[in-house]
Structure 1
């Protein structure tokens, strides 16, 4: 039942701050076990959490729309329709997420801002109303927020937006200037270029996607450039100022030369920081690190044993599926044998939803060489994989695949895929790695045809002999 009326105090077995994946799943599970649960979310527009409202779902919905041309519509109209469809989707999912908890008799959903007043007590403010929640266990699940660094004029510009704000704009940018070179920057650049916008990416480092191997990053950048994206690397933004309908982005290149860019929209994709500043964690004795992330142990307990932190707020990998695994760990602490931990995690895959997508699991070649192991490495361009017709069937042979293997044990250390369906195929590799399958096993496995998965026959078959 939703909390509609003013209540002075609520006593609960479990209180969850934030409607994200880990927290909402834990709330529902514990409620179905008969526990009294209070879930606090600061905004009704965030029921369901970051993923369905401002993260994975809307961005990937727009990526899909961008990849689906409609000859009857111009790009601006197609973009406006896509934003509308995405808004309808997130609204639908918000409602379903609320209903899943609202239907449980022992769950109370409270919309308001929570802060600790002591280790077991939260004060929740909603307008003029104040609610006091006491709980035996508390889970912090408040996520992370986009970072706006102290660049002169960046915060003051009327044309600078975060990824959240850009998702809500019904009008397609004419010239989108993207500040940053990571996952979010690349996804939005690729997406908006596909909608016909002019896009310029400004990255401070020497290349985009600095966490990837140089050859992979170079291939991803080449794909972006071929799609019409202008990429400026080794460029440090020195200031932003508004000039009528445009923002002027000043930067300095690697040679110390000054330059300027003009765009009607500037996306600041410069990282995210854990949302902890307004929680008054010190009142509960909960410690944070230098980035503001809640400090947790391998069981996701904070410095106060009955307070846990799950999802982006604990400083771990910022993926919804990791937050879901956080839920499993905390559930095991509350009602299980308490043995499950973050140390159990192996071979967690990630994906960048550019077109085609870039996905990886395990180590890059650079990381693997740093371990001192003897390696066998295979790199295959998708266009050279004659035995993988799926890429030609869908008319997308761009990209490459790369496998890194321990030469002494045949252990798969890492695989990177920049190709059609990479975000799906990588999960097969991740599962195989977790189960201890060798490179030889993946090379000789039987896969459906024609599929992108059978590229694993080719990729692992291309490993040089030891």
Structure 2
């Protein structure tokens, strides 16, 4: 048995950053990763980077909507090759960075005790001892129990669809959440006919209706078709196509639609099933997510969990901040916890991007705040006009008594950038007037904050 000061299970953002930090301090560390295709974690291999690369390229594809299918398919195939080249480069870079600081074991990890982990290597098994252990195994797609789904050759997850080198002419997406919407916008721009089947009756229900309606209208302009109250019952392969059968929950009518590819986007779950956590005494909740305290310690004090595996917001930057929390415990003063992390922004890379931080208007009212609401159309921005993006909408929620920003939701060009300015202002507890009166560069989307918050005057 090999002994280490620290074992890190999973090569995600938090784990790989922690490995490098520990290695620099001379702490004997090992990193265990189940797949050689996942060095560096979800983000660079199957998440943020490859999807955003394809989304970026899809913006160019949109200019060729009059092209025939063969041309669209060639463009898409080239985009997939570029994506693969990029992810391979980043994967190797991440491997090299971690290998310089820690031993790497490629194989499936399984707890034997609270200090020992068995790793199934390609040529046998090895047991590793860790004085401290950090779990960073991430999440995986939820596969719903739909008849025929597991048997179909044309059903994909968000991971496997990006491995498809042929552009689907007809793409059916099961699930209208944020992942499904990103793929819907992307493939519509590449030239696929996209249909989204959503079980519920409301488009992105967590968002305010005004901004949700603008987003839905824009996606429909791109060619995305939405069917709500759709309960998918069966998926059947028939020669050169697949048939998706669903029940219209409002009418009880059974409907069938053809597809060249079906994307299952019904959520993600923590990757914990194979870890044998009970052998270590690590508790999980009813969803299989590892239970942690504000310092990310599990029910076993010398075992921590980082990133998606513990539930909550599933973003790379959360995993990175988890690293910071643990780093402070190991080398600092424990000032950083999950409790003092908010507000946290998020972005959904549609066309244009949707980004949000803090409370929605509905949530602010439900919380008892007296509010002022700033609203403005993207078309009023000179910068957006330069981009040819004029269909968006921005709003911000301000406490009417304190003038503090409670939240913001932007559906516009560069929303993923300017939302960070608002987040920083909220974190610093600044009045909205600071953003209203700040001097920004021109022409920029950030200067549009002058106009947005001036609507409150």
TM range (shorter): over 0.9
The counterpart of 1:213, out of the listed 201, 204, 208, is 208
Could you tell me which residue of structure 2 aligns to residue 262 of structure 1? 258
The counterpart of 1:349, out of the listed 335, 338, 345, is 345
What runs of 5+ residues in structure 1 fail to find an aligned partner?
1-8
The counterpart of 1:290, out of the listed 278, 286, 294, is 286
Quick check: 1:182–1:210 contact (8 Å CA) kept in 2?
no
Shift of 1:127: 2.9
| 1: CA distance, partners of 2:144 / 2:211 | 28
| 2: CA distance, partners of 1:119 / 1:339 | 27
State the secondary structure of the residue aligned to 2:290. Answer: coil
The counterpart of 2:421, out of the listed 411, 420, 428, is 428
Could you tell me which residue of structure 2 aligns to residue 97 of structure 1? 94
State the secondary structure of the residue aligned to 1:305. Answer: coil
Quick check: 1:240–1:249 contact (8 Å CA) kept in 2?
yes
Could you tell me which residue of structure 2 aligns to residue 320 of structure 1? 316
Could you tell me which residue of structure 1 aligns to residue 230 of structure 2? 235
Q: Deviations over 1:309-364 (max 9, x none)?
A: 00000002100000000000111122222231001112211000011000001111
What runs of 5+ residues in structure 2 fail to find an aligned partner?
none
List aligned pairs for 1:397-436, cutoff 5 A: 397-436=390-429
Quick check: 1:119–1:283 contact (8 Å CA) kept in 2?
yes
List aligned pairs for 1:20-419, cutoff 5 A: 20-69=12-61, 74-104=71-101, 107-253=102-248, 254-383=250-379, 385=380, 388-419=381-412
| 1: CA distance, partners of 2:318 / 2:105 | 25
State the secondary structure of the residue aligned to 1:346. Answer: coil
| 1: CA distance, partners of 2:210 / 2:231 | 23
| 2: CA distance, partners of 1:377 / 1:257 | 42
Could you tell me which residue of structure 2 aligns to residue 5 of structure 1? none
Shift of 1:446: 1.1
| 2: CA distance, partners of 1:94 / 1:127 | 20
| 1: CA distance, partners of 2:425 / 2:229 | 38
Quick check: 1:27–1:37 contact (8 Å CA) kept in 2?
yes
TM-score normalised by the chain length of structure 1: 0.95
TM-score normalised by the chain length of structure 2: 0.97
| Aligned residues: CA RMSD | 1.3
| 1: CA distance, partners of 2:214 / 2:149 | 31
Quick check: 1:14–1:36 contact (8 Å CA) kept in 2?
yes
| 2: CA distance, partners of 1:84 / 1:23 | 28
State the secondary structure of the residue aligned to 2:201. Answer: coil
Could you tell me which residue of structure 2 aligns to residue 3 of structure 1? none
- Count residues with an aligned counterpart: 451
| 2: CA distance, partners of 1:133 / 1:339 | 31
| 2: CA distance, partners of 1:193 / 1:56 | 19
| 2: CA distance, partners of 1:294 / 1:248 | 38
| 1: CA distance, partners of 2:357 / 2:258 | 38
